[in-house]
């Protein structure tokens, strides 16, 4: 039992160390401009444009349901007009970045791990190396950069749609006055709330891209290896996003709001 626990902890720490080394190599590749525009744009298109339906549906429906729940609760204490303010702050700081991160981790993280994992088991990564191309320059760095760029944009889109859809629900379903909703939202949503959400999104984008690439590059042999790597990429990046959310919230709030 103790031996198993020790082995599990060792493996976990080794994995973290390996991801850190991969991140170091990847950032070096990015700063030394080894990524081609073509590779970067292809990944931004895949992560950003192709994730539109998922992000639009997630953002809109989470905004609607949160608005409905808030309107019901706030009505009990005669605070109906603060509904959109609550929706807005929650969408900007938490729901927008976290849910976008989780949805994109499910779609993109899995695809990255599966694609790179398949390349590994079919010797395509070895073929890259024989063609004098560093796998980090060609496979990891463009995906990391695309993650860092696409996630904040997708988060902004999800947040905007969530607030808009929440506004619609509050006004048309619960009959709350639109002007008061709007004014209260502007009054209680600070620039720092938007900034916190976007900074979190950048971190989540980097995390899910790195975890997906790492799991793909280190996947086991055969279809089973690729399947396991894909599952682990989604699970670890989703858990990572939730853990990172907590550890980012405290310092970001302290920095922006002094709390």
Partner 1 sequence: MIEVRNLQKSFGTQKILDGVNLRIETGESVVIIGRSGGGKSVLLKHIIGLTKPDAGEVLIDGENIELMNERELLRVRSKFGMLFQGAALFDSMTVAENIAFAFRHNKEMSQDKIDCEVAEALAVVELPGIQNKKPSELSGGMRKRVGLARAIVYRPQIVLYDEPTTGLDPIVSDSIDHLILRVRDRYKVTSVVVTHDMRSARRVGQRIVMLHEKKIYVAGTSEEIFNSRDPIVRQFIEGVSDPKELDF
Which positions lie near partner 1, rule CB under 8 A? Answer: 36, 115, 119, 122-124, 126-127, 129-134
Query: Which CB atom, from 124 or from 192, has the smaller least distance to partner 1?
Result: 124
Minimum CB–partner distance for residue 106 and partner 1 (Å): 21
CB of 134 to partner 1, least distance (A): 6
Quick one: 123 or 224, whose CB is closer to partner 1? 123
Whose Cβ is closer to partner 1: residue 1's or residue 131's?
131
From the CB of 18, what's the least distance to partner 1, in Å? 14
- Least Å distance, CB 6 to partner 1, is 20
The distance of closest approach from Cβ of residue 132 to partner 1 in the complex, given in angstroms and rounded to an integer, is 4
Spatial distance between the Cα atoms of 74 and 170, rounded to a whole number of angstroms? 11
Residue pair 200/100 in contact (Cβ under 8 Å)? The answer is: no
Nearer to partner 1, 34 or 188 (CB): 34
150: nearest Cα among 52, 253, 56, 47: 47
């Amino acid at each position: 039992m103790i031996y198993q626990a020790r082995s599990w902890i060792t493996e976990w720490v080794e994995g973290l160390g390996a991801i850190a080394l991969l991140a170091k190599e990847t950032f070096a590749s990015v700063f030394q401009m080894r990524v081609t525009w073509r590779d970067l744009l292809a990944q931004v298109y895949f992560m950003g444009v192709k994730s539109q339906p998922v992000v639009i549906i997630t953002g809109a429906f989470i905004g609607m349901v949160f608005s409905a729940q808030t309107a019901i609760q706030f009505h009990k204490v005669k605070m109906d007009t603060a509904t959109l303010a609550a929706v807005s702050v929650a969408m900007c700081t938490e729901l927008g970045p976290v849910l976008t991160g989780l949805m994109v981790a499910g779609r993109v993280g899995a695809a990255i791990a599966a694609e790179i994992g398949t390349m590994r088991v079919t010797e395509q990564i070895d073929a890259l190396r024989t063609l004098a191309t560093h796998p980090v320059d060609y496979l990891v760095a463009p995906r990391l950069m695309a993650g860092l760029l696409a996630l904040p944009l997708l988060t902004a889109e999800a947040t905007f749609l969530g607030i808009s859809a929440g506004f619609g629900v509050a006004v048309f379903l619960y009959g709350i006055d639109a002007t008061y909703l709007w004014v209260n939202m502007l009054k209680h949503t600070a620039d720092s709330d938007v900034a916190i959400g976007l900074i979190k999104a950048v971190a989540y984008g980097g995390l899910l891209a790195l975890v997906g690439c790492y799991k793909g590059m280190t996947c086991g042999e055969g279809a089973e290896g690729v399947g396991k790597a894909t599952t682990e990429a989604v699970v670890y990046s989703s858990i990572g996003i939730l853990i990172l959310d907590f550890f980012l919230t405290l310092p970001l709030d302290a920095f922006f709001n002094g709390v």
